[in-house]
Amino acid sequence: MPIPDRLDLIFSALADPTRRRVLSMLLEDDMAVSDVAAPFDMSLAAVSKHLSVLAAAGLIRQERRGRITWCMLDPEGMRSASVWMQGFGQFDPVDLDDFERFLKVQIDEWNQE
């Protein structure tokens, strides 16, 4: 897929707060789809759609293990967005540790709401 199309998918996926929260959750560990869906007040089908968007953007991978579908963060999925932002000269490479800390703060804020 051409880089501009990949960037559109990545930034579109990141634009949604539910999908950012899912990414934060997956920073901790791989999760079954049902576990990803548990904290959200929406149907399993709605969460599955969010997961499909994240997978299409290359930000997560999904793997079937028996009857359970597992979701895993794919850190390489951010690489093209990071490289693109670096091209402006004002952004440092994405530090995944910093990104993880940022997402944890976001989750804490969401949990307090």
Enumerate domains of the chain plus CATH numbers.
3-104 (1.10.10.10)
Three-state SS at 104: helix
pLDDT tens digits along 10-43: 999 999 999 999 999 999 899 999 999 999 999 9
Cβ(26)–Cβ(54) below 8 Å: no
| Distance of alpha carbon 54 from alpha carbon 33, whole angstroms | 13
Q: Terminus-to-terminus CA distance in the chain, angstroms?
A: 38
pTM, to two decimals: 0.74
Phi, psi (deg, nearest 5) at residue 60: -135, 165
pLDDT tens digits along 63-94: 999 999 999 999 888 888 887 777 776 656 66
pLDDT tens digits along 92-106: 666 677 777 777 788
